[in-house]
Amino acid sequence: MSYQLYRNTTLGQSLQETLEELIQTQQIDPDLALIVLLQFDKTINSALANRLRTRMSFKGHLRTYRFCDSVWTLIVENAEFRETGSDTHSFKVDKLKVVACDGKTSGLECKEL
Amino acid sequence: MAGAGKESTPAGLYHYVINDVIRSIRQSFLNRGVDEQVLQELKSQWELKIVQSRSVKEFVAEDQRTASASNVMYPHGNRFPIDALSQVNNTRHSKGTFSVYIFTSQTKCLLNNASEFPSYSASTGAKSAKLEDDEPLNTDDDASDEDDIDSFECDNVIVCQYDKVTRARSKWKLHLKDGIMNIGGNDYVFNKASGDCDWA
C-alpha cells in the first residue's frame, strides 16, 4: 500500500499543479493524470523508505493532539530539531504540525482501511 | 555510491523521484498515443514549480531553460504566490490554480509594528478608556474561541509515518519515519525521527 499523504508536500503539489495545467490545455486526460499520481505515491513511499539515511530528533512541548482513522495529528510547540550524523546542525520551530500515518500497514499486504 | 549520499538531501531525493516517475509512466503515455514532448513538458514544469517554491535551495532544474526563473529573488527565501511570480516573469504560465502561502510569524510582526505607531494610540486612547468605563466587555471569550479554531492550523508541517507513539505520564515519545518536513518555507527529509514531548 502506498500512502497518498505525500501529495500534500512541495514535491506532490508541484506535480498536481503541473498535471492540472496539462489537463486544462488538453494535452493529457484526467485518467492519465491519475496514473501519474499513483506512480508518484509508489515512488515517493519507496524512495523515503529505501534511499534516505537521514536521522532527526526533536524535543518540544505537545500542545494538542488528535488520533483519528489511524492518523496522528500533533501540534508541537517550541520544537528543537537536531540532525544526527556527520554534519550536525540544529534549528528551532515555534509551532509545528505532525501528520503521521501508520507505518506498519504500509507493507505489501493491503489492509482494508 | 556517491549518488546514495546525495539523495540524503531533499534536492537529491526530489531528482530521483521525478526521474523515476517520468521513467515509469513513459509506457502509459506511449500506449495512449501521447507525445513524448508532453512527458518532457511534465518533467520541466514539475521541476520549475519546485524551483519557484524556493523550498529547496540546492534544487536546480535539470532542464537549462528554467535557469531564468531561478534568478528572481525574494526576501527571506519565503514562498510567494506562484501566479505572482509568473506575472513577474511574463512567461507562459498564465493558467491553473495556485496555492498562496502566508507566514503567520510575519503577520504578527506587522501587527506589532502597527500597534506601536504613536499617532494611532494617542488619538484613540481617550476614547477607548471611556468606553471601558461605560460597558465592560469580556474580550477573553473571543480570544479563546479563535484559539480553538486555529489550534490545528500551522505552516510548519511534517508529513510522515509513525512506528510508535507512546506516553508515560506527561512524557510523549514519537517514533517517526519516512518524513518530508516544510519548516519556515524550507524542505527537509528524514528516514527516521524521534520526538520527546512534554504535555502539561
Summarize pLDDT for A26-56 with one digit per residue, the tens: 999 999 999 999 999 999 999 999 999 899 9
Domain presence at residue B168? yes
- Domain match, A11 and A37 both: yes
* Alpha-carbon span B153 to A68, nearest angstrom: 17
Element (H, E) at B85: helix B82-89
A71-87 pLDDT per residue, tens = 999 999 999 999 886 56
What residues make up the domain containing B175?
A: 153-199
Interface A-B, measured as beta-carbon pairs within 8 A, has a size of 209
Q: Using a CB–CB cutoff of 8 Å, tell me whether B34 touches chain A.
A: yes
Residue B16 belongs to a domain with what CATH number?
1.10.287.100
Contact A41, A51 (CB under 8 A): no
* Alpha-carbon span B6 to B3, nearest angstrom: 5
pLDDT bin (cut points 50, 70, 90) of residue B18 is very high
- Domain match, A64 and A80 both: yes
Contact B80, B52 (CB under 8 A): no
Domain presence at residue B143? no
Domain presence at residue B69? no
- The ipTM (two decimal places) reads 0.90
Average pLDDT value over all residues in chain A: 90
Residue A18 has pLDDT above 60, yes or no: yes
Distant-in-sequence, close-in-space partners of B35: CB < 8 Å, separation ≥ 6: B29
Task: Return left, alpha or beta for B96; rule: phi > 0 is left, psi -120 to 50 is alpha, else beta.
Answer: left
Do B49 and A9 make contact, defined as CB atoms within 8 angstroms?
no
Residue B158 belongs to a domain with what CATH number?
2.30.18.10
Predicted TM-score (pTM) of the model is 0.70
- How many structural domains compose chain A? 2
B103-147 pLDDT per residue, tens = 443 334 343 443 333 333 333 334 444 444 555 555 555 554 445
B4 chain-A contacts, CB cut-off 8 A:
51, 53
The residue-averaged pLDDT of B5-28 equals: 89
A79 chain-B contacts, CB cut-off 8 A:
195
**What pLDDT does residue A11 have?**
97
A19, A112, B125, B175 from A25: Cα distances, Å: 10, 37, 57, 44
A77 chain-B contacts, CB cut-off 8 A:
none
- Domain match, A40 and A68 both: no
Residue B194 has pLDDT above 70, yes or no: yes
- How many structural domains compose chain B? 2
Pick from A79, A81, A73, A76: nearest CA to A100: A73
Pick the residue from chain A with its C-alpha nearest to B184.
A93
Q: How big is the CA angle at B181 (ends A3 and A108), to the nearest 5 degrees? A: 20
What residues make up the domain containing A83?
A: 56-101
Domain presence at residue A78? yes
- Domain match, A90 and A60 both: yes
